[in-house]
Amino acid sequence: MIDQTVLLLVIAVVVLLAVGVSAVTLVTRRRRGGTTTISPETAEALQPELDEAAPPVEEAPAPTLERPEPAAGRMQRLRARLARSGTVGQTLLSILSRGDLTESDWEEIEETLLLADVGIGPTTELMDTLRTRSKVLGTTDPEVVRGVLREELLALVGESDRSIATEPVVGDDGRPHPATVLVVGVNGTGKTTTVAKLARVLVAEDKSVVLGAADTFRAAAADQLSTWGARVGVEVVRSDREGADPAAVAFDTVRRGREESADVVLVDTAGRLQNKQGLMDELGKIKRVMSREAPVSEVLLVLDATTGQNGMRQAQVFADVVDITGIVLTKLDGTAKGGIVVAVQRELGVPVKFVGLGEGPDDLAPFVPEEFVDALLS
C-alpha cells in the first residue's frame, strides 16, 4: 500500500517536472524569436503557464507603403524651381525685343548664352539663326519675338527618345530578364538619391523593381537606398561587408531581379573621379559582370548641373568607359546654368532623360523640352 502511494507520488513529481521543463524551453524559444512545433494537447496543457510567463506578443503593424506621385506632369509642378535658369530666357527676350539690334546687343546675347553654359557651338548656331530671323521679321512685337525664341530654343534642345528601358526582354538563352539600368557618375552628383527617386517613378507606373547598392565604399549609401526602398516596398540587394566587390553586388542584383521576374533592375554605383583610372576600370568591370546575367539595357550618367564645364569633361570620360545611353541632370533647381542641358547633349550625343529639381522624393522629372523651354521664357 505504502509502496503504491510512493510510486504514485514519484510519477506525479516526474510529470510535473516534465511539464515545467517544457514550459521553460518554449518560453525561452519564443523570446529568441525562433519558432517551434508542438502537439495541440501539450499546447493546451501548457497554456495557463505560458500566459502567465510570457506577455502576449504584439504584432508589429504592417508598414504603410507610400504611393509615389505619377511622373507625368512633374516638370510642370516643379517649374518654379527653374526660376534661376529662367533668367537666360528673360534676358534674351528683353534684348531681342529692343529692335534694330546693334553689335553690342548681339554680344550681350552671346555672353548671356555662354554664361548659362549653353556651350560655344550651340551659342554660335543660335546667334546665327536669330540674326537671320530677326532681320527677316523686322519686328519688336514681344509675342512674335517670344515665339521665334521658343522655336529656336526647342530646336537647340532637340528631339530624342527620352524614355528609359522598363520592359523585361527575352535573352539569348530564351529566358526573360529584367531591363537593367546602371547608374554612374562622380562623387556627390546625386546618384543614390536619383536611383531611389527613379524607383519611385517606376513604382508609380506599377513596375516591379529591384535595387542594387553597388556603392560598397559608403555603407551609408546602402542604408540610404534600403530606407528609400522600404518606403515603397522595393527590395534592395546589398553586401554586409564594406568594400565588397561592387561587380558581385551588381551581378547578384540582376540575378535577384531574374528570380523575382522583376520588370527593372537599378544598380547604384560609388562616386568616382574620372581621372582615377582604377576606379574607371572597375566601372567597366561592373558592366561586364552584370552582362553575364543579362545585357545592360541602360547606363545613366548623373551630372550635377551646377558643375558646368567641369561636368562636361567628366561626362566624356565616363562615356568612353561605359556607353552612356542617357543623362540625369540633377540640382537644376537653384542654378542659372540650365544651358548645360543643350551643351551636354551635344557633347555626348545622348539625351537628357530626367532632371533633378529638388531633394524631395518625387522631385525627379522626366525631361520634357517644351516644358523646359516654356519655363525659361515664362
Ligand X SMILES: Nc1nc2c(ncn2[C@@H]2O[C@H](COP(=O)(O)OP(=O)(O)OP(=O)(O)O)[C@@H](O)[C@H]2O)c(=O)[nH]1
Pick out the residues of the known binding site: 185-192, 268-272, 330-333
Q: At its nearest, how many Å lie between ligand X and the CB of residue 370?
A: 20
Cα–Cα distance between 141 and 138 in angstroms, integer?
9
SS3 content of the chain, % helix, strand, coil (to 5): 55, 10, 35
Residue ranges at the known binding site for GTP: 185-192, 268-272, 330-333
Q: At its nearest, how many Å lie between ligand X and the CB of residue 127?
A: 30
Measured at the CA of 262, the angle between CA 261 and CA 268, to 5 degrees, comes to 135
Q: At its nearest, how many Å lie between ligand X and the CB of residue 190?
A: 3
Give the H or E element holding residue 304: strand 298-304
**Can you name the residues that pair with 209 across neighbouring β-strands?**
264
**In which order are the strands placed within the sheet that holds 209-214?**
235-237, 209-214, 264-269, 179-184, 298-304, 326-330, 352-356, 364-366
| 238 or 255: CB nearest ligand X | 238
Q: At its nearest, how many Å lie between ligand X and the CB of residue 67?
A: 21
| 26 or 265: CB nearest ligand X | 265
| 359 or 370: CB nearest ligand X | 359
Cα–Cα distance between 277 and 262 in angstroms, integer?
34
| 189 or 345: CB nearest ligand X | 189
Which amino acid, 39?
S
Cα–Cα distance between 126 and 92 in angstroms, integer?
11
Cα–Cα distance between 109 and 91 in angstroms, integer?
8
Helix residue spans in 299-368 (DSSP H): 308-321, 340-348
Grid coordinates belonging to 341: 542641358
Q: At its nearest, how many Å lie between ligand X and the CB of residue 333?
A: 5
Q: At its nearest, how many Å lie between ligand X and the CB of residue 37?
A: 46
Q: At its nearest, how many Å lie between ligand X and the CB of residue 340?
A: 13
Task: Report the DSSP pairing between strands 179-184 and 298-304.
Answer: parallel
DSSP result, 197-260: HHHHHHHHTT--EEEEEE--S-HHHHHHHHHHHHHTT-EEE--SSTT--HHHHHHHHHHHHHHT
| 357 or 375: CB nearest ligand X | 357
Contact residues toward ligand X (CB under 6 A) are 185, 187-193, 215, 218, 221, 270-271, 330-331, 333-334, 356-359
Q: At its nearest, how many Å lie between ligand X and the CB of residue 179?
A: 21
- Nearest Cα to Cα of residue 284 among 327, 328, 319: 319
The C-alpha R_g of the chain, in whole angstroms, comes to 31
Q: At its nearest, how many Å lie between ligand X and the CB of residue 224?
A: 7
| 308 or 334: CB nearest ligand X | 334
- Nearest Cα to Cα of residue 345 among 362, 329, 361: 329
| 295 or 361: CB nearest ligand X | 361
Q: How many CB atoms lie within 10 A of CB 210?
A: 27
Write the DSSP symbol of residue 339. Answer: T
| 96 or 364: CB nearest ligand X | 364
| 177 or 272: CB nearest ligand X | 272
